[in-house]
Protein backbone atom coordinates (compact mmCIF):
# COMPACT_ATOMS: atom_id res chain seq x y z
CA UNK A 1 0.00 0.00 0.00
CA UNK A 2 3.04 2.28 -0.33
CA UNK A 3 2.38 5.74 -1.71
CA UNK A 4 5.97 6.13 -2.88
CA UNK A 5 5.16 4.72 -6.33
CA UNK A 6 2.23 7.05 -7.02
CA UNK A 7 2.84 9.22 -10.12
CA UNK A 8 3.50 12.85 -9.34
CA UNK A 9 0.54 15.14 -10.00
CA UNK A 10 0.87 17.15 -13.19
CA UNK A 11 -1.30 19.22 -15.46
CA UNK A 12 -2.08 17.93 -18.94
CA UNK A 13 -0.03 20.72 -20.52
CA UNK A 14 1.91 23.76 -19.20
CA UNK A 15 -0.98 26.18 -19.45
CA UNK A 16 -3.54 24.00 -17.66
CA UNK A 17 -4.33 23.46 -14.00
CA UNK A 18 -5.37 20.35 -12.11
CA UNK A 19 -9.10 20.07 -11.57
CA UNK A 20 -10.22 20.45 -7.96
CA UNK A 21 -13.14 18.89 -6.06
CA UNK A 22 -14.14 20.66 -2.84
CA UNK A 23 -15.84 18.34 -0.34
CA UNK A 24 -17.83 19.71 2.59
CA UNK A 25 -19.83 17.84 5.26
CA UNK A 26 -22.84 19.96 6.21
CA UNK A 27 -25.13 19.70 9.23
CA UNK A 28 -27.11 22.57 10.78
CA UNK A 29 -24.94 25.37 9.43
CA UNK A 30 -27.58 27.94 8.47
CA UNK A 31 -25.50 30.79 9.88
CA UNK A 32 -22.27 29.91 8.06
CA UNK A 33 -22.91 27.70 5.02
CA UNK A 34 -23.53 30.47 2.46
CA UNK A 35 -20.42 32.38 3.56
CA UNK A 36 -18.33 29.22 3.35
CA UNK A 37 -19.57 28.23 -0.10
CA UNK A 38 -19.11 31.80 -1.34
CA UNK A 39 -15.40 31.75 -0.42
CA UNK A 40 -15.02 28.50 -2.37
CA UNK A 41 -16.74 29.93 -5.45
CA UNK A 42 -14.51 33.01 -5.19
CA UNK A 43 -11.25 31.02 -5.36
CA UNK A 44 -8.67 32.64 -7.63
CA UNK A 45 -7.88 29.39 -9.44
CA UNK A 46 -8.24 28.81 -13.20
CA UNK A 47 -8.63 25.02 -13.15
CA UNK A 48 -11.93 23.15 -13.23
CA UNK A 49 -13.80 23.20 -9.92
CA UNK A 50 -16.75 21.45 -8.34
CA UNK A 51 -18.24 21.64 -4.84
CA UNK A 52 -19.78 18.53 -3.33
CA UNK A 53 -21.87 19.10 -0.22
CA UNK A 54 -22.48 16.01 1.94
CA UNK A 55 -25.76 17.11 3.46
CA UNK A 56 -26.95 15.63 6.74
CA UNK A 57 -30.55 15.76 8.05
CA UNK A 58 -30.68 19.41 9.12
CA UNK A 59 -33.22 20.94 11.49
CA UNK A 60 -32.30 24.64 11.19
CA UNK A 61 -33.12 25.35 7.54
CA UNK A 62 -29.63 24.64 6.19
CA UNK A 63 -31.03 22.19 3.62
CA UNK A 64 -33.20 24.93 2.09
CA UNK A 65 -30.19 27.25 1.80
CA UNK A 66 -28.19 24.46 0.17
CA UNK A 67 -30.96 23.81 -2.35
CA UNK A 68 -30.97 27.49 -3.36
CA UNK A 69 -27.18 27.46 -3.75
CA UNK A 70 -27.37 24.27 -5.78
CA UNK A 71 -29.93 25.72 -8.20
CA UNK A 72 -27.95 28.94 -8.57
CA UNK A 73 -24.63 27.32 -9.53
CA UNK A 74 -24.05 24.17 -11.60
CA UNK A 75 -20.68 23.61 -9.91
CA UNK A 76 -22.45 22.76 -6.63
CA UNK A 77 -23.56 19.16 -6.21
CA UNK A 78 -25.29 17.47 -3.27
CA UNK A 79 -24.86 13.98 -1.83
CA UNK A 80 -27.07 13.01 1.09
CA UNK A 81 -25.57 11.77 4.35
CA UNK A 82 -28.52 10.50 6.39
CA UNK A 83 -26.33 9.15 9.18
CA UNK A 84 -24.84 12.60 9.99
CA UNK A 85 -21.33 11.19 10.66
CA UNK A 86 -18.58 13.33 9.10
CA UNK A 87 -16.30 10.52 7.81
CA UNK A 88 -19.20 8.86 5.99
CA UNK A 89 -20.18 12.17 4.39
CA UNK A 90 -16.59 12.85 3.36
CA UNK A 91 -16.25 9.42 1.74
CA UNK A 92 -19.54 9.88 -0.11
CA UNK A 93 -18.29 13.21 -1.44
CA UNK A 94 -14.91 11.75 -2.44
CA UNK A 95 -16.64 8.90 -4.27
CA UNK A 96 -18.77 11.42 -6.16
CA UNK A 97 -15.80 13.65 -7.03
CA UNK A 98 -14.26 13.82 -10.50
CA UNK A 99 -10.98 15.69 -10.11
CA UNK A 100 -7.45 14.62 -9.00
CA UNK A 101 -7.22 17.14 -6.15
CA UNK A 102 -9.57 16.94 -3.15
CA UNK A 103 -9.96 20.05 -0.98
CA UNK A 104 -11.73 19.42 2.32
CA UNK A 105 -13.72 22.43 3.50
CA UNK A 106 -15.59 22.86 6.78
CA UNK A 107 -18.98 24.57 6.66
CA UNK A 108 -17.70 26.60 9.63
CA UNK A 109 -14.71 27.86 7.65
CA UNK A 110 -13.83 30.41 4.99
CA UNK A 111 -10.96 30.03 2.52
CA UNK A 112 -8.55 32.80 1.60
CA UNK A 113 -8.93 33.68 -2.10
CA UNK A 114 -5.55 32.17 -3.07
CA UNK A 115 -5.96 29.05 -0.91
CA UNK A 116 -6.47 26.59 -3.77
CA UNK A 117 -3.72 27.98 -5.97
CA UNK A 118 -1.20 27.94 -3.12
CA UNK A 119 -2.22 24.43 -2.10
CA UNK A 120 -2.06 22.90 -5.59
CA UNK A 121 1.27 24.61 -6.28
CA UNK A 122 2.62 23.16 -3.02
CA UNK A 123 1.35 19.65 -3.85
CA UNK A 124 3.05 19.76 -7.24
CA UNK A 125 6.26 21.34 -5.92
CA UNK A 126 6.78 18.98 -2.96
CA UNK A 127 5.11 15.72 -3.98
CA UNK A 128 3.20 15.67 -0.69
CA UNK A 129 -0.04 13.68 -0.51
CA UNK A 130 -1.77 16.17 1.79
CA UNK A 131 -1.15 19.86 2.42
CA UNK A 132 -2.66 21.97 5.18
CA UNK A 133 -2.22 25.42 6.67
CA UNK A 134 -3.24 27.63 9.55
CA UNK A 135 -6.60 27.48 11.28
CA UNK A 136 -7.25 31.20 11.71
CA UNK A 137 -9.93 31.09 14.41
CA UNK A 138 -12.09 34.23 14.65
CA UNK A 139 -14.92 35.36 16.89
CA UNK A 140 -17.79 37.84 16.80
CA UNK A 141 -18.90 37.82 20.45
CA UNK A 142 -16.58 38.09 23.48
CA UNK A 143 -17.13 34.39 24.22
CA UNK A 144 -16.38 33.28 20.66
CA UNK A 145 -13.35 35.57 20.57
CA UNK A 146 -12.05 33.92 23.73
CA UNK A 147 -12.53 30.47 22.20
CA UNK A 148 -10.76 31.62 19.03
CA UNK A 149 -7.86 32.93 21.09
CA UNK A 150 -7.58 29.59 22.90
CA UNK A 151 -7.50 27.76 19.56
CA UNK A 152 -4.44 29.72 18.46
CA UNK A 153 -2.58 29.59 21.78
CA UNK A 154 -0.25 26.89 23.09
CA UNK A 155 -2.06 27.04 26.45
CA UNK A 156 -5.38 26.43 24.69
CA UNK A 157 -5.27 23.19 22.73
CA UNK A 158 -1.58 22.48 22.38
CA UNK A 159 1.19 23.26 19.95
CA UNK A 160 0.05 21.70 16.66
CA UNK A 161 1.53 23.67 13.76
CA UNK A 162 -1.89 24.41 12.24
CA UNK A 163 -2.93 26.14 15.46
CA UNK A 164 0.18 28.13 16.39
CA UNK A 165 2.12 28.28 13.11
CA UNK A 166 5.49 26.94 11.99
CA UNK A 167 7.87 26.85 9.05
CA UNK A 168 6.83 24.78 6.04
CA UNK A 169 7.61 21.13 6.55
CA UNK A 170 6.31 17.63 7.32
CA UNK A 171 3.60 17.51 9.96
CA UNK A 172 1.75 14.96 12.08
CA UNK A 173 -1.61 16.06 10.73
CA UNK A 174 -3.18 18.89 8.76
CA UNK A 175 -6.18 21.14 9.28
CA UNK A 176 -8.84 20.20 6.72
CA UNK A 177 -6.34 19.23 4.05
CA UNK A 178 -5.79 19.39 0.29
CA UNK A 179 -5.26 15.81 -0.88
CA UNK A 180 -4.16 13.89 -3.91
CA UNK A 181 -7.28 11.88 -4.69
CA UNK A 182 -5.29 8.80 -5.73
CA UNK A 183 -3.55 8.75 -2.33
CA UNK A 184 -6.89 8.91 -0.51
CA UNK A 185 -8.21 6.00 -2.55
CA UNK A 186 -5.01 3.99 -2.05
CA UNK A 187 -5.36 4.08 1.78
CA UNK A 188 -9.12 3.56 1.78
CA UNK A 189 -10.36 7.07 2.56
CA UNK A 190 -11.66 8.10 5.96
CA UNK A 191 -12.32 5.45 8.61
CA UNK A 192 -16.11 5.50 8.97
CA UNK A 193 -15.95 3.95 12.45
CA UNK A 194 -14.37 7.16 13.83
CA UNK A 195 -16.65 10.15 14.47
CA UNK A 196 -13.99 12.59 15.71
CA UNK A 197 -10.25 12.67 15.04
CA UNK A 198 -10.87 11.07 11.65
CA UNK A 199 -8.51 13.53 9.97
CA UNK A 200 -5.61 12.71 12.33
CA UNK A 201 -6.13 8.96 11.86
CA UNK A 202 -6.24 9.33 8.07
CA UNK A 203 -3.04 11.37 8.08
CA UNK A 204 -1.40 8.69 10.22
CA UNK A 205 -2.23 6.08 7.57
CA UNK A 206 -1.00 8.36 4.79
CA UNK A 207 2.31 8.84 6.59
CA UNK A 208 2.71 5.15 7.43
CA UNK A 209 2.08 4.34 3.75
CA UNK A 210 5.07 6.47 2.79
CA UNK A 211 3.33 9.74 1.97
CA UNK A 212 4.22 13.19 3.26
CA UNK A 213 1.70 15.33 5.13
CA UNK A 214 2.91 18.90 4.81
CA UNK A 215 2.19 22.07 6.76
CA UNK A 216 2.67 25.39 5.01
CA UNK A 217 1.94 28.82 6.53
CA UNK A 218 0.98 30.02 3.03
CA UNK A 219 -2.46 28.49 3.53
CA UNK A 220 -4.94 30.14 5.87
CA UNK A 221 -8.51 29.18 6.69
CA UNK A 222 -10.86 31.33 8.77
CA UNK A 223 -12.67 29.17 11.33
CA UNK A 224 -15.67 30.18 13.45
CA UNK A 225 -15.71 28.31 16.79
CA UNK A 226 -18.74 27.34 18.88
CA UNK A 227 -20.72 30.29 20.21
CA UNK A 228 -21.97 29.07 23.60
CA UNK A 229 -20.49 27.42 26.65
CA UNK A 230 -22.85 24.44 26.37
CA UNK A 231 -21.87 23.75 22.75
CA UNK A 232 -18.18 24.10 23.59
CA UNK A 233 -18.50 21.54 26.39
CA UNK A 234 -20.28 19.06 24.12
CA UNK A 235 -17.77 19.53 21.30
CA UNK A 236 -14.69 19.07 23.44
CA UNK A 237 -16.12 16.19 25.48
CA UNK A 238 -16.90 14.31 22.25
CA UNK A 239 -13.49 15.14 20.76
CA UNK A 240 -11.74 13.94 23.90
CA UNK A 241 -13.85 10.78 23.94
CA UNK A 242 -12.80 9.87 20.44
CA UNK A 243 -9.17 10.63 21.23
CA UNK A 244 -9.52 8.13 24.08
CA UNK A 245 -10.92 5.65 21.55
CA UNK A 246 -7.92 6.28 19.29
CA UNK A 247 -5.67 5.61 22.27
CA UNK A 248 -7.42 2.26 22.75
CA UNK A 249 -6.82 1.43 19.08
CA UNK A 250 -3.40 2.94 18.45
CA UNK A 251 -1.73 3.26 21.85
CA UNK A 252 1.37 5.43 21.99
CA UNK A 253 1.24 6.23 18.29
CA UNK A 254 -0.76 9.19 19.63
CA UNK A 255 1.26 12.32 20.41
CA UNK A 256 2.13 12.86 24.06
CA UNK A 257 0.34 16.21 24.12
CA UNK A 258 -3.00 14.39 23.96
CA UNK A 259 -2.39 13.00 27.44
CA UNK A 260 -2.10 16.43 29.11
CA UNK A 261 -5.87 17.08 29.58
CA UNK A 262 -6.61 13.67 31.22
CA UNK A 263 -3.54 14.15 33.43
CA UNK A 264 -4.98 17.54 34.46
CA UNK A 265 -8.32 15.92 35.35
CA UNK A 266 -6.51 13.39 37.56
CA UNK A 267 -4.41 16.14 39.18
CA UNK A 268 -7.45 18.30 39.98
CA UNK A 269 -9.41 15.30 41.28
CA UNK A 270 -6.51 14.38 43.55
CA UNK A 271 -6.22 17.97 44.79
CA UNK A 272 -9.93 18.08 45.66
CA UNK A 273 -9.62 14.87 47.68
CA UNK A 274 -6.50 16.19 49.43
CA UNK A 275 -8.27 19.45 50.31
CA UNK A 276 -11.27 17.60 51.72
CA UNK A 277 -8.97 15.47 53.88
CA UNK A 278 -7.18 18.57 55.14
CA UNK A 279 -10.38 20.42 56.00
CA UNK A 280 -11.95 17.43 57.74
CA UNK A 281 -8.91 16.62 59.85
CA UNK A 282 -7.63 20.04 60.87
CA UNK A 283 -4.83 19.68 63.40
CA UNK A 284 -5.11 15.89 63.54
CA UNK A 285 -2.70 14.84 60.79
CA UNK A 286 1.06 14.41 61.22
CA UNK A 287 3.11 17.19 59.68
CA UNK A 288 4.52 14.97 56.95
CA UNK A 289 1.03 14.00 55.83
CA UNK A 290 0.09 17.68 55.58
CA UNK A 291 3.15 18.29 53.41
CA UNK A 292 2.24 15.40 51.10
CA UNK A 293 -1.30 16.73 50.74
CA UNK A 294 0.02 20.21 49.96
CA UNK A 295 2.30 18.77 47.27
CA UNK A 296 -0.70 16.99 45.71
CA UNK A 297 -2.58 20.29 45.61
CA UNK A 298 0.34 22.26 44.14
CA UNK A 299 -0.16 21.40 40.41
CA UNK A 300 -3.80 22.50 40.61
CA UNK A 301 -2.84 25.76 42.29
CA UNK A 302 -0.25 26.39 39.56
CA UNK A 303 -2.82 25.61 36.86
CA UNK A 304 -5.39 28.02 38.34
CA UNK A 305 -2.74 30.72 38.54
CA UNK A 306 -1.71 30.01 34.95
CA UNK A 307 -5.29 30.34 33.69
CA UNK A 308 -5.72 33.64 35.52
CA UNK A 309 -2.44 34.94 34.10
CA UNK A 310 -3.44 33.82 30.59
CA UNK A 311 -6.64 35.85 30.89
CA UNK A 312 -4.77 38.85 32.24
CA UNK A 313 -2.01 38.82 29.61
CA UNK A 314 -4.09 37.89 26.55
CA UNK A 315 -3.38 40.39 23.78
CA UNK A 316 -5.99 41.81 21.47
CA UNK A 317 -8.98 40.82 23.60
CA UNK A 318 -11.50 43.08 25.30
CA UNK A 319 -11.98 42.92 29.06
CA UNK A 320 -15.12 40.81 28.57
CA UNK A 321 -13.31 38.42 26.24
CA UNK A 322 -10.46 38.05 28.74
CA UNK A 323 -12.95 37.19 31.42
CA UNK A 324 -14.49 34.60 29.11
CA UNK A 325 -11.04 33.17 28.40
CA UNK A 326 -10.60 32.38 32.10
CA UNK A 327 -13.69 30.16 31.83
CA UNK A 328 -13.01 28.87 28.31
CA UNK A 329 -9.56 27.39 29.00
CA UNK A 330 -10.59 25.02 31.83
CA UNK A 331 -13.80 24.22 29.94
CA UNK A 332 -11.76 23.01 26.97
CA UNK A 333 -9.17 21.18 29.05
CA UNK A 334 -11.51 19.45 31.50
CA UNK A 335 -14.22 18.56 28.98
CA UNK A 336 -11.62 17.08 26.67
CA UNK A 337 -9.82 15.30 29.52
CA UNK A 338 -12.99 13.78 30.99
CA UNK A 339 -14.04 12.67 27.52
CA UNK A 340 -10.62 11.09 26.94
CA UNK A 341 -10.77 9.10 30.18
CA UNK A 342 -14.26 7.83 29.33
CA UNK A 343 -13.26 6.93 25.78
CA UNK A 344 -10.08 5.19 26.93
CA UNK A 345 -11.91 3.12 29.56
CA UNK A 346 -15.05 2.08 27.70
CA UNK A 347 -14.63 3.20 24.09
CA UNK A 348 -16.40 5.97 22.22
CA UNK A 349 -18.81 4.19 19.88
CA UNK A 350 -21.67 5.77 21.85
CA UNK A 351 -20.14 9.27 21.78
CA UNK A 352 -21.69 11.77 19.35
CA UNK A 353 -20.79 15.44 19.01
CA UNK A 354 -24.19 17.09 19.49
CA UNK A 355 -22.83 20.63 19.53
CA UNK A 356 -24.29 21.32 16.07
CA UNK A 357 -27.54 19.45 16.61
CA UNK A 358 -30.63 21.52 17.32
Residue 57's SS3 state is coil
- Cα radius of gyration rounded to whole Å, the chain: 22
> Average pLDDT, stretch 54-82?
91
- Above 70 in pLDDT, residue 77? yes
- Above 50 in pLDDT, residue 14? no
- Above 70 in pLDDT, residue 215? yes
How confident is the model over 123-139, as pLDDT tens digits? Answer: 999 999 999 998 889 99
State the DSSP string of 114-167: THHHHHHHHHHHH--SEEEEEEEE--SSHHHHHHHHHHTSHHHH---HHHH---
Residue 11 belongs to some domain of the structure: no
Partners of residue 53 on adjacent β-strands: 24, 78
Co-location of 168 and 275 in the same domain:
no
| Domain end residue (candidates: 171, 191, 225) | 225
Pick 15 or 313 by higher pLDDT: 313
> Average pLDDT, stretch 49-69?
91
CATH number, position 114: 3.90.550.10
Co-location of 170 and 307 in the same domain:
no
Residue 195 belongs to some domain of the structure: yes
Distance CA 206, CA 353 (A): 25
Partners of residue 220 on adjacent β-strands: 134
Torsion angle of C-alpha atoms 160, 331, 143, 239, degrees rounded to 10: 50
- Above 70 in pLDDT, residue 13? no
Co-location of 317 and 264 in the same domain:
yes
Co-location of 156 and 300 in the same domain:
no
* pTM, two decimal places: 0.87
% of the chain surpassing 90 pLDDT: 68
pLDDT category at 108 given cuts 50, 70, 90 is confident
Co-location of 265 and 201 in the same domain:
no
Residue 320 belongs to some domain of the structure: yes
Residues for the chain: how many in total? 358
Co-location of 194 and 302 in the same domain:
no
| Domain end residue (candidates: 194, 225, 256) | 225
Co-location of 195 and 296 in the same domain:
no
> Average pLDDT, stretch 84-99?
93
- Above 70 in pLDDT, residue 16? no
Task: Find all residues with CB under 8 Å of 12, minimum gap 6, and list them.
Answer: none
Mean pLDDT (the chain, rounded): 90
- Note the pLDDT of residue 270: 96
> If you ran DSSP here, which 8-state letter would residue 224 be given?
-
> Average pLDDT, stretch 200-218?
94
User: Please, are residues 84 and 356 in contact by the beta-carbon 8 Å criterion?
Assistant: no
Partners of residue 222 on adjacent β-strands: 110, 136
**Count of domains forming the chain:** 2
- Above 60 in pLDDT, residue 11? no
Residue 49's SS3 state is strand
Residue 337 belongs to some domain of the structure: yes
Distance CA 182, CA 185 (A): 5
Co-location of 210 and 66 in the same domain:
yes
What is the extent of the structural domain holding 45? 20-225
- Output the CA torsion sign for 239, 245, 251, 253: negative
Amino acid sequence: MSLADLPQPSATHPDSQLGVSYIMPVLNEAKYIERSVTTVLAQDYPGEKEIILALGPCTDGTDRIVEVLNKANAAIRIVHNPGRDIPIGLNLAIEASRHPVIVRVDAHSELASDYTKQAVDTLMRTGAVNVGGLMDAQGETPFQQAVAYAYTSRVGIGGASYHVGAEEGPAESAYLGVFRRDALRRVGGFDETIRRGEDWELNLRLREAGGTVLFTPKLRVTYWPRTTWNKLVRQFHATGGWRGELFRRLGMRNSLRYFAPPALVVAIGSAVVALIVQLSTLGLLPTWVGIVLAVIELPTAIYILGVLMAGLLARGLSVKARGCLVAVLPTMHLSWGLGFIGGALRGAKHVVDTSRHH
